[in-house]
Amino acid sequence: MDQQQQQSAIQGAKVLMVGAGGIGCELLKTLALSGFHDIHIIDMDTIEVSNLNRQFLFRRSHVGQSKAKVARDAVLRFRPHINIRSYHANVKNPEFDVDFFKQFDVVLNGLDNLDARRHVNRLCLAADVPLVESGTTGFLGQVTVHVKGKTECYECQTKPTPKTYPVCTITSTPTKFVHCIVWAKELLFAKLFGDKNQDNDLNVRANKAASASKETEDVFERAEDEDIEQYSRKIYDHVFGYNIEAALSNEETWKNRRRPRPIYSKDVLPESLTQKNGSTQNCSAASDDDSATVSAMPLLGLKNPQELWGLTQNSLVFIEALKLFFAKRKKEIGHLTFDKDDQLAVEFVTAAANIRAESFGIPLHSLFEAKGIAGNIVHAVATTNAIVAGLIVIEAIKVLKKDADKYRMTYCLEHPSRKMLLMPVEPFEPNPSCYVCSKTPLVLEINTQKSKLRDLVDKIVKAKLGMNLPLIMHGASLLYEVGDDLDDIMVANYNANLEKSLSELPSPVINGSILTVEDLQQELSCKINVKHREEFDEEKEPEGMVLSGWTQSPATNGESASTSNNESAVDVTESSSGPEIASKKRKLSETQPENHKRETENVESEDDDDLVEIENPMTVSKKKRVA
Amino acid sequence: MKKNSLDKEVLLSRFSRLNLRMDGEELTEQETALYDRQIRVWGANAQRRLTKSHILVSGIKGTVAEFCKNIVLAGVGSVTLMDDSLVNEEALNANFLIPPDENAYKGKTVAEICCDSLKDFNPMVLVSVEKGDLSARSTEFFEKFDVVVIGYGSLATKKAVNEKCRKLSKRVAFYTVDCRDSCGEIFVDLQDYKYTKKKLEEKVECELNFPSFQEAVSVPWKPIPRRTAKLYFAMRVIEVFEENEGRKHGECSLLDLPTVLEIKKKLCEANSVSESLIPDSLLERLITGTIEFPPACAIVGGILAQEVIKAVSGKGEPLKNFFYYDAQDGKGVMEDISNSFTS
């Protein structure tokens, strides 16, 4: 009987879950209820208050503890006799190698970032273990099945990487609020409180001739006894006043653009106003308070993070927050990076972004909204995660029964499409030009005389190809590798290679060279055909190199299948670092609901056949369905 | 609308000092922190309305347990549970709210045990137990609630409660849910419902008219479109079977199949439709699959919770008026079934 077959498949299964968060909690619960009794779960995170609205296995008293461990304990309470092994670790750790993955019958992902998903995808391919992937954002969700050789792997269709913006948009010509946030976060905050040795694009050169660098060095450096109030106003005036005026002096920039207006503190904030709130004035030498509780808003009588502040209030917050950093958190200055859970940092970035927005005529945003953008917060609810977890278990069971005909990708929609809120689609066959699961070589256009090996490693091998521990060979010559077992001479040699331009390497890489790049942990190997090119467009190709041959996927006709950021349905899932300054300006991909509207236009469901056949109208078509 | 001109910012700062609020009290700081991620989905106003809502839930098995978990996490004002059945081993199936400790649950009702577990998920929600028979309650009883959910109810109970809800001047949102084998049905009745929905960056006011439960299950079959989910018809057959035989949800087996098929035959004849409308295999699944399939519980419980959240917040297009899920084909469909087919 089918039921019995199903039960024995479940009972004999050893399952790996990656992620014990929103989807993970729901998934572990449903797996346990469904009769699974050998489950391993990996998660590197600890529990936060904002998790509690949906990660129901956790309580307030668990904040700070390991998600994987607490989830395990909670589930054992209602299913005490099952075996759950938890790992409080990063799935990218070397201990989770191919042999580790091989012990499982199926791997179930409940991750929130593209990087980890790609990594797990490769390990599952190497171990030949089926993978069930998933993602949710708000009311949207999806579940997909990946079985080596039978279906697409997770990377057969390109997944857009996080949205980045050209440097000039951030430093000189913002048009959207998010540009102001990135400026406030990556430039201003970093310059004031971050690592001083980091490069920073903050100052715009007025005309090519002007060199303000000596002056600005003085502006941002605070003298030992410099009055905090004065310093804060000086910074304010510099970034919102002087820098804007300097930018305005470059006529070309503003020919077809709205001119920003310079804003000076004396016009917005009379001296008395800030000094009254200057409780910090007298405590400048005070000890560092618990940084979690230092906040500008209460001092200014601002209680509601959803409230929209005007220019005056934003300016007050800006000054006050700056003062508080110097008064109460002096030790941290020079080592800080923006953290969305750092209230003072969020206040500062919100205020700074708003003042800049005001200057450029961009609508202002509340702290609540700004925090979401700056922290790249995924909006999330319990219900979608619960639904997706149910769908994952259903696919997992099919995989265990090897019911290949029944594998489905299922989309959970916010609004019904042809009456469907849950839409199953047959998976596609593997993409023959996927560099991960098929063996297609890639093409890299690069200036082999100017670009260094380091650029290749950072921008291509690690960032684009998602390799963590890369190894690069040119023919028989090993140009670069990472590892614990390397001796000092080799390491020195590789470091030297990094600084050389490609054509100057011991085994020169020039036009026509073929490189082999590998990641031993992921067991992924690719070939890259190198083509020399002299010039690259600064705006469109700011990285100075172009990788191709990996985007062609018949299922999407070369276009990325989906949307913006975070764990959204259909493929995109990136929330680790949020919007960043330029590498390459990304094309806005189609949004998921639209994508499905297009796809489902051709749906034909025969009377007796419940299966939804989806034909992408864009497909030229050799794409075959998994039969 | 975002305003940012210099003239208005003075006004804005004055307004904030006057503490002018819109929709009742503000969410507390604790609520804002806890509900941050979902406020980003449906907004603070919707969250405020949720915290004031009162939900009545009757009949608790796996799917309803999921539903309760979801709405408690969402932060509704209160959840009142009704289920006097005693906890036994069978109740443990698919219901993660009941810890499998016989000493702890012996002698207690399902509602009592679930109440304790649910409180734990969100201390800000008032969870309580109401004893007694739902169908014996007066119309006034239902006035206390904004939402009534009947899980696994009999045909008679569903009809009676829906009628009472419709009699009240206050609009009480009415839902039924039923899960058998790996299938599920949700019914929604919001009477005359106004809501806002987003259309191309703008907010649009819409209105829907929902048929009563009585009307929705009595719609003549002949005019109903051929592609309508078979589960609609199959569930009507099961409803009649259980009423005729005096059975509760799940009190059936393969032995009952002949009786069920006989009922199917009669109903199809009465409606002048072919018996092929309802596959026998589907009916067989529904009467032999007496225990719920946990993944289906999670799915149907999730959809139901989303609907209740939408109805309470007045935001987002509600399901009208049936939802069907079948793990076998993997589809989750909405069906709009009313007497409008006949006109």
- pLDDT one-digit tens code per residue, A160-215: 777 778 888 899 999 999 999 999 999 999 999 998 777 777 764 333 334 445 44
State pLDDT tens for residues A559-591: 333 323 333 333 323 333 333 333 222 221 222
Residues B256 and B109 both lie in one domain: no
Q: Which of A34, A308, A387 sits opposite B12 (nearest CB)?
A: A308
Residue B6 has pLDDT above 50, yes or no: no
Residue A321 has pLDDT above 90, yes or no: yes
CA distances to A32, A147, A381, A383, A600 from A136, in Å: 21, 21, 9, 10, 21
Residues A414 and A499 both lie in one domain: no
Whether residue B15 lies inside any domain: the answer is yes
Whether residue A603 lies inside any domain: the answer is no
Whether residue B271 lies inside any domain: the answer is yes
Question: Taking CB atoms and an 8 Å cutoff, what residues of chain A touch B33?
Answer: 49-50
pLDDT of residue A591: 28
Q: Which of A53, A138, A386 sits opposite B298 (nearest CB)?
A: A386
Q: What predicted TM-score, i.e. pTM, was given to this entire model?
A: 0.82
Alpha carbons B85 and B107: distance in angstroms, whole number: 10
Residues B16 and B59 both lie in one domain: yes
Question: Taking CB atoms and an 8 Å cutoff, what residues of chain B touch A384?
Answer: 302, 306
- Does residue B296 sit at the A interface (CB-CB below 8 Å)? yes
A138 Cα to chain B: minimum distance (Å): 6
Residues B65 and B55 both lie in one domain: yes
* One-letter identity of residue A47: I
Render B225-281 in DSSP notation, one character per residue. -TTS-HHHHHHHHHHHHHHHHTPPTT---GGGHHHHHHHHHHHHHHTT--GGGS-HH
Residues A206 and A254 both lie in one domain: yes
Residue B2 has pLDDT above 50, yes or no: no
Residues A370 and A383 both lie in one domain: no
Question: Taking CB atoms and an 8 Å cutoff, what residues of chain A touch B299?
Answer: 386-387, 390-391, 422
Q: Which domain holds residue B226?
A: 217-288
- Does residue B299 sit at the A interface (CB-CB below 8 Å)? yes
SS3 assignment, position A595 = helix
pLDDT of residue A594: 34
State pLDDT tens for residues B163-181: 999 999 999 999 999 999 9
- Total domains present in chain A: 3
Residue B4 has pLDDT above 80, yes or no: no
Residues B238 and B114 both lie in one domain: no
Alpha carbons A339 and A194: distance in angstroms, whole number: 12
pLDDT of residue A292: 57
CB contact under 8 A, A381 and B41: yes
Residue A11 has pLDDT above 80, yes or no: yes
Question: Taking CB atoms and an 8 Å cutoff, what residues of chain A touch B303?
Answer: 383, 387, 421
| Catalytic positions of A, written as ranges | 168
State pLDDT tens for residues A240-274: 999 999 889 888 889 889 999 999 999 888 776 65
Whether residue A620 lies inside any domain: the answer is no
The tokens 């650029």 sit on which residue? A455
* C-beta of residue A496 within 8 angstroms of C-beta of residue A548: no
pLDDT of residue A621: 29
pLDDT of residue A226: 85
Residue B229 has pLDDT above 80, yes or no: yes
Whether residue A590 lies inside any domain: the answer is no
Residues B116 and B35 both lie in one domain: yes
CATH code of the domain covering residue A315: 1.10.10.520
Residues B160 and B24 both lie in one domain: yes
pLDDT of residue A201: 75
Whether residue B1 lies inside any domain: the answer is no
Residues sharing a CB contact under 8 Å with residue A366, sequence separation 6 or more, in sequence order? A305, A306, A307, A308, A309, A350
Residue A130 has pLDDT above 50, yes or no: yes
Render B102-133 in DSSP notation, one character per residue. HHHHTT-BHHHHHHHHHHHH-TTSEEEE--S-
- Does residue B38 sit at the A interface (CB-CB below 8 Å)? yes
Beta-strand runs (E) in A439-512:
442-446, 470-474, 477-481
Residue A277 — very low, low, confident or very high, per pLDDT cuts 50/70/90?
A: low
Residues sharing a CB contact under 8 Å with residue A518, sequence separation 6 or more, in sequence order? A467, A470, A471, A472, A473, A524, A525, A526
Residues A200 and A338 both lie in one domain: yes
pLDDT of residue A359: 95
Residues A90 and A195 both lie in one domain: no
CB contact under 8 A, A379 and B38: yes
- Count CB-CB contacts under 10 A for residue A270: 11
Q: Which domain holds residue A490?
A: 442-548
B192 Cα to chain A: minimum distance (Å): 20
Whether residue B99 lies inside any domain: the answer is yes
Residues B238 and B90 both lie in one domain: no
Q: Of B273, B288, B303, at which residue does a domain stop? A: B288
Residues A216 and A363 both lie in one domain: yes
Closest C-alpha among A467, A604, A528, A573 to residue A111:
A573
| Paired tokens of A101 | 């993955």
CATH code of the domain covering residue A89: 3.40.50.720
Alpha carbons B159 and B239: distance in angstroms, whole number: 12
State pLDDT tens for residues B19-77: 333 345 678 878 888 898 888 888 888 999 999 999 999 999 999 999 999 999 999 99
- Does residue B254 sit at the A interface (CB-CB below 8 Å)? no
Q: For A266-275, A360-369, A448-457, which range has the lowest pLDDT when averaged over its residues?
A: A266-275
* C-beta of residue A41 within 8 angstroms of C-beta of residue A111: no
Residues B189 and B98 both lie in one domain: yes
- Count CB-CB contacts under 10 A for residue B185: 22
Question: Taking CB atoms and an 8 Å cutoff, what residues of chain A touch B297?
Answer: 33, 390
pLDDT of residue B64: 97
Whether residue A410 lies inside any domain: the answer is yes
pLDDT of residue A288: 47
Which whole number is the average pLDDT over B176-200?
92
Whether residue B269 lies inside any domain: the answer is yes
pLDDT of residue B296: 97
| Paired tokens of B343 | 């006109």
CATH code of the domain covering residue A506: 3.10.290.20
Residues B130 and B186 both lie in one domain: yes
| Paired tokens of A20 | 């014990």
The tokens 């006035």 sit on which residue? B143
* C-beta of residue B251 within 8 angstroms of C-beta of residue B241: no
Whether residue A312 lies inside any domain: the answer is yes
Alpha carbons A567 and A136: distance in angstroms, whole number: 5
What share of chain A in percent tops pLDDT 90? Answer: 58
Residues A492 and A357 both lie in one domain: no
Residues A223 and A365 both lie in one domain: yes
CB contact under 8 A, A30 and B317: no
CATH code of the domain covering residue B71: 3.40.50.720
Whether residue B274 lies inside any domain: the answer is yes
pLDDT of residue B77: 95
Task: Give the annotated binding-site residues of A for Zn(2+).
Answer: 153, 156, 434, 437
Residues B307 and B196 both lie in one domain: yes
CB contact under 8 A, B330 and A394: yes
- Does residue B128 sit at the A interface (CB-CB below 8 Å)? no
| Paired tokens of A387 | 């639904």
pLDDT of residue A613: 35
* C-beta of residue A611 within 8 angstroms of C-beta of residue A185: no
Q: Please tell me chain B's helix, strand, coil percentages from 3-state DSSP, rounded to the nearest 5.
A: 45, 20, 35
pLDDT of residue B115: 96
Render A428-457 in DSSP notation, one character per residue. BPPPTT-TTTS---EEEEE-TTTSBHHHII
Whether residue B52 lies inside any domain: the answer is yes
Question: Taking CB atoms and an 8 Å cutoff, what residues of chain A touch B322?
Answer: none
Residues B69 and B192 both lie in one domain: yes
Alpha carbons A387 and B299: distance in angstroms, whole number: 4
Whether residue A597 lies inside any domain: the answer is no
Residue A397 has pLDDT above 60, yes or no: yes
Q: Of A510, A529, A548, at which residue does a domain stop? A: A548
Whether residue A601 lies inside any domain: the answer is no
State pLDDT tens for residues A300-315: 999 889 999 999 999 9
pLDDT of residue A271: 72
Instruction: Decide the pairing of beta strands A420-425 and B331-335.
Output: antiparallel
Residues A59 and A144 both lie in one domain: yes
Whether residue A574 lies inside any domain: the answer is no
Q: For A474-478, A603-607, B307-311, which range has the lowest pLDDT when averaged over its residues?
A: A603-607
Looking at every residue in chain A, the average pLDDT score rounds to 82
Residues A349 and A495 both lie in one domain: no
Residues A12 and A107 both lie in one domain: yes
The tokens 């209820």 sit on which residue? A33
State pLDDT tens for residues A452-481: 999 999 999 998 888 988 999 998 899 999
What share of chain A in percent tops pLDDT 70? Answer: 81
Alpha carbons B231 and B325: distance in angstroms, whole number: 9
Residues A408 and A502 both lie in one domain: no
SS3 assignment, position A425 = strand
Whether residue B306 lies inside any domain: the answer is yes
Residue A595 has pLDDT above 60, yes or no: no
Render A172-224 in DSSP notation, one character per residue. T---SHHHHHHIIIIIIIHHHHS-TTS----PPPSSTT---HHHHHHHHSPPT
What is the dihedral angle through the alpha carbons of A536, A539, A545, A551, rounded to the nearest 10 degrees?
-120
Q: Of B248, B263, B288, at which residue does a domain stop? A: B288
**Hey, which residues does A545 pair with through a beta bridge?**
A446
Structural element, H or E, at residue A82: none
**Chain B: residue whose CA lies nearest to A358:** B4
Closest C-alpha among A39, A41, A46 to residue A18:
A41
* C-beta of residue A451 within 8 angstroms of C-beta of residue A460: no
Alpha carbons B117 and A620: distance in angstroms, whole number: 55
Q: Which of A56, A80, A416 sits opposite B100 (nearest CB)?
A: A80
CA distances to A4, A10, A80, B203 from A83, in Å: 21, 13, 8, 50
* C-beta of residue B2 within 8 angstroms of C-beta of residue A365: yes
**Chain B: residue whose CA lies nearest to A607:** B227
A276 vs B303 pLDDT, higher one: B303
- Total domains present in chain B: 2
Choosing among A383, A414, A612, which should be mutated to test the B contact, i.e. which has the most B CBs within 10 A?
Answer: A383
Q: For A37-46, B68-77, B96-105, B296-305, which range has the lowest pLDDT when averaged over its residues?
A: B96-105
Residues B92 and B179 both lie in one domain: yes
Q: Which of A32, A379, A390 sits opposite B41 (nearest CB)?
A: A379
The Cα angle at residue B23 between residues B20 and B29, in degrees rounded to 5:
75
pLDDT of residue A223: 78
